[in-house]
A and B are shown apart, each in its own frame.
Chain A
Amino acid sequence: MFETLALNAPSWSDLRHFVPETVLVVTFLLALMADLFARGRRPAGPFALALGGCLVALAAAVSSLPAGPRSILGDLVVVDGLAGFFRVLFPLIGAITILFSWASGEIMGPRREHKGEFYALVALMAFGMCVMASAADLIMLYLSVELVSLTSYVMAGYMRTSLRSTEASLKYVIFGSVSSGVMLYGLSLLFGLTGETTFVEIRAALLAGRADNFALLVAMVFVLAGLGYKIAAVPFHFWCPDVYEGAPTPVTALFSVGPKAAGFALMIRFFYTTLLSPGGGQAAAGAAAPDGVIVGPADWPLLIAILSVVTMTYGNLVALRQTNVKRLLAYSSIAHVGYLLMGFLMLTAAGLEAILFYLLVYAIMNLGAFLFVIALNNRLGGEEISDYAGLSTRAPWVALMMMVFLLSLTGLPPTAGFIGKMYLFAEVINRHWFWLAVVGALNSVVSLFYYMKIAKAMYFTPGERAPLRLEPLHTAVLILLAAPTLALGVYWTPFKNFVDRAVAGFAGLGG
């Protein structure tokens, strides 16, 4: 279907299919300008503008879910079901981040500067992530990744006077630029091999056998390194714990879900479009055949399987030893990438559905867990596990909500996290990757231990008894996140249908 589209020159009318992204860019610019008038005061203008902009973009995205793929802006961008899903997810993540940053001392504290810019940057990052999800060309791929990265560097170092925050930012910049350089090298190899920059054309060239297998493998691994850095898969994860710990917690929360999801979007887009061709392949006895056939030399799903196992095992094992909750959640987020990669290497629609469903659920529950850390940091001034001692008596409902997030992150019913994990495992089992399923399942058991360390502190360890009241805004957003975490564990049909529709409208997978 793709090949039939002629090369389109960019035109203004293309923007009709680019509304959420356009709204986010305009929001960014307006919020920056509003910030000029808010110097020194509480930046209500930028906050309201950014929040409103994200919500408008969200509404626009929900109301205009793309039916089929459409190539716009000179074939640099493709708007399809996959893009449609992510342009719902990213403004949602942005809006939640903006909401809980407003009451966070780390962002809005008296010693902070450029408070308004923060909200503008969140909108910009949401825009960058949306573009990552719809990039259809090597150039756009690189531009969007860099846009998100540069925004991230600034946000990680937002607490200018904090040594840890600036250190986090610097580390992020160094790791980021190296891996982006490696990726760029991979992309240029790919261009050199095929002479094309559009994903679809690259696949056509590969199918025609124009590329040397070994060179293609090298190019692929380099691109994987760049994207692996974005999603923090082992062994490209080294920046992750330090940056997560050093950055202001609201930023960490955003990092742990936003760029990760965007990285997955781009990985799906890139690999499934360039390296997969349609048609039923051969499969093991009894297993349904994958929906796509691998183009090119390497058995790259096996490579990803190894990456997945190493990532989840490493993340979980190192998380066991953490005492700082932000670091713990950083390593746990690495482990979750491992689970997600299991769905990625299935090369099937059901695998993609599982990934998208999990990303949605993961965004909700992980933001919830981080919001808990933010809200308590505001009151207790720390984020060690031991700080939460006796919380079940000090703030029983807050502790209960955190319990819901922790159970969901572990993947226990009846929470959304269980459903997400079950869909991932279901597809892995259905494709007969049994060893992968067993490793993944046992990893979930390991993760139970460190999530329950937080539960143990809250419920078993006696601490102070004085009641603790959180910022009302924080409590409100916590409820807003805990409710779906629980509700989606009991009834999730509408969300599943939403995700299925997105995958059905995806241009890749041999479309």
Chain B
Amino acid sequence: MPTHSPALTLTGLTKTFGRHRAVDDVTLDVNQGEMVGFLGPNGAGKSTTLYMITRLVRPTAGSIHVFGHDVRRSPVEALRHIGALVETPSFYGYLSGRRNLELVARVYGIRDRTAVDEILAQIGLTERQKDPVQNYSQGMKQRLGLGAALLGSPRLLLLDEPTNGLDPEAMREILGLVRNKVRQDGLAVFISSHLLGEVEEYCDRVAIMNGGKLACEGHVDEILAQADPVVRVTFSGDRPAPDTFRTLEGIETVVEAPGGALEFLLTGQDSAWLNRQLLERGFPVATIAPKQRTLREFFLALTGTPPDSPPTAPHTPREV
């Protein structure tokens, strides 16, 4: 169970690259025993935020505390608690997977060789531990990156797209491993991902970035419950074209759904109001029912961009 003492505290965190404000006044907590999904379209500032937490990028303003240690003033004490997998993990290709982990272990002061054996077993690389990393697949490198992040027995795990290059089975295996560590060891996890289904399934809370700002933050169920309702309507006759409702106030979007249905995203209205509007216009409603939004739908409504789409800003100075 979460103990609610913050593993990570971001306060007014800001980063500018020239005139571009990549991260704008972000304030956020991650508690122990909690898995927080960090979402946002490409270029939203997720990776820059993770880079600032790991001290790879210097914040322009604001502060970062890891278990009470200021990352800027006491970086070693703060980073001792962090295991990080930022973007594509990079290793020395001419060294074996095991040797790469041993280099990391040395820095953390781990002398026990069995610690590396255990990590290799957990990430499923025992068989290939002696192969040079340059012969590894992307998925194996990703696993090795996760292994390196877990090696120092961190209390806070930062993961940036940890399931990149993994097949669905491996993805579930890795996320399950992380989830178990959250449950059993009280690990705090801050995970950036564009796989909203997985985030919804595994994370306790989500924080959504958009345009460098923290657009929304909270428990997944609470966020989705507070969101404007989506109403699914089926028709006894022909389904009207979604464009028919474009000018109607109270309806934000209409999308076609399987089974000849339409899904209406309402703003400030409910399904009874929609039913009246449809009947007044002569559309033969067969069924009408509110539908729980998925995180993906909520994300799309909030940011206007799918999570895995390319950046839209034409003059973003640097994609972090």
A and B found bound together: no
**A residues lining the B interface (CB < 8 Å):** none
**B residues lining the A interface (CB < 8 Å):** none
